[in-house]
Structures are given as C-alpha cells and as structure tokens.
C-alpha cells in the first residue's frame, strides 16, 4: 500500500490541517476551464471535498472521479489519468 509507511505520523500531521469553506469564502468562481481529478478512495481528502471544491470554482470546473483510486491517481492509474487530462486539454484548445 502506498500509504502504509509512517501511517500514524501522517494521520497526526493531517489532523493539524485546517480546511473548510471558512478559509475559501473569498474565492471567486474561475472564468477559465478547470479540471479536477480525484480518487474515489482518497482517505486524505474525501470525495465530498472534491464536490465542494468544484462548486467553489464555478460552472467551468469539471470533476473527474477515478474509481478504486486514492490520493495519487496519476500514479495509481496513470493510463486513465493521462487520458482524462488529454481529453480535457483537447476540449479546451
């Protein structure tokens, strides 16, 4: 498993992070296209955070969820990740 080493230390570190809408209320929706790629099994930043981020970024944000993938989809499923990015870039040009 990608996260098995120093797991407890990493959990303690994450407890110190302060994340939430309170810190982002001044974020304006973006005018450009935005791609968000998220693993549905991400235990560091749960999927709910992806949907909240998409809402904050506005109508031009596109959320792609990779199933059976955790925090680093570009490493865990590079083929699908690259395909998603390529398709996004082709559509944005």
pLDDT in tens, 36-72: 999 999 988 999 999 999 998 999 999 999 999 999 9
22 has pLDDT over 80 = no
Distance, CA of 69 to CA of 80 (rounded, Å)? 11
Q: pLDDT: is 13 or 29 the higher one?
A: 29
Read off φ and ψ for residue 27, nearest 5 degrees: -70, 120
Is a pLDDT exceeding 60 seen at residue 93? no
The CATH code of domain 29-92 reads 3.40.50.11320
Q: What is the pTM of this model?
A: 0.73
Largest Cα separation within the chain, whole Å, is 44
Interatomic CA distance for residues 27 and 54, integer angstroms: 12
| Predicted pLDDT at 1 | 53
């Amino acid at each position: 498993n990608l996260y098995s080493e120093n797991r407890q230390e990493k959990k303690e570190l994450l407890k110190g992070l302060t994340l939430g809408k309170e810190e982002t209320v001044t974020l304006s929706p973006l005018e450009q296209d935005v791609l968000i790629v998220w693993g549905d099994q991400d235990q560091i930043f749960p999927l709910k955070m992806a949907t909240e981020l998409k809402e904050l970024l506005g109508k031009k944000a596109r959320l792609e969820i990779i199933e059976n993938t955790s925090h680093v989809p570009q490493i865990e499923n590079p083929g699908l990740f690259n395909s998603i990015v390529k398709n996004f870039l082709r559509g944005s040009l």
